[in-house]
Amino acid sequence: MKVHTTNYQSVFILVADDCKATQGEVPPVKNDKTIANIQFDMICENPYKYTSDDIVFHSYAMKNNIAKSDLKEAREQFFSKGQPCLRTSPLSKRYGWGTHHDGNGKVAMYACETKEYDQFANDKQLKVIKAIRSSK
């Protein structure tokens, strides 16, 4: 079985061109945690601990209430086909967060109004790409 990945190495994902946020915003908590809440908490509380694959799968597993005992098999099944990467994350599309993927593929996020965001956005050592636009 082919294994797909969403991981990037030495990449900075800018906020989408049509992102309405002018600064990093904490995604609002609704009745249930949203993908944005799950990803925000995971990255914010653990910068450079998780890869994109870890973040994308964990979000999926939480939203689908996958039992801990089924996680290994569910992850293999999940990545047996291509999955959207963090360029499609609401953090970069809606809430004003850029994501830095270091040389090991570990992820941290930076609010679009910060000095760090600007430094990553202009770093010639990184591949800099934009998040996917919400509208066409």
Residue closest to 16 by CA, chosen among 67, 87, 82, 76: 87
pLDDT at residue 111 above 80?
Answer: yes
Average pLDDT over residues 30-38: 90
1 located within any domain = no
The verdict on residue 3 lying in a domain is no
Residue 33 within a domain: yes
The model's pLDDT over 17-26, given as tens digits with 9 standing for 90+, comes to: 999 999 999 9
Write the CA distances from 114 to 48, 90, 106, 108, integer angstroms: 18, 19, 20, 14
- pLDDT for res 1: 62
Q: Is residue 2 part of a domain?
A: no
The tally of domains found in the chain comes to 1
E-state strands within the chain = 11-14, 97-101, 107-111, 127-130
The answer to whether the beta carbons of residues 115 and 35 sit under 8 Å apart is no
**pTM, to two decimals:** 0.93
> What is the reported pLDDT for 136?
67
Domain that holds residue 121: 11-130
Closest CA to 126 of 37, 12, 8, 28: 12
Is residue 10 within 8 A of residue 86, CB to CB? The reply is: no
**91 assigned to some structural domain:** yes
- CA nearest 102: which of 123, 133, 132, 76? 123
pLDDT at 100 over 80: yes
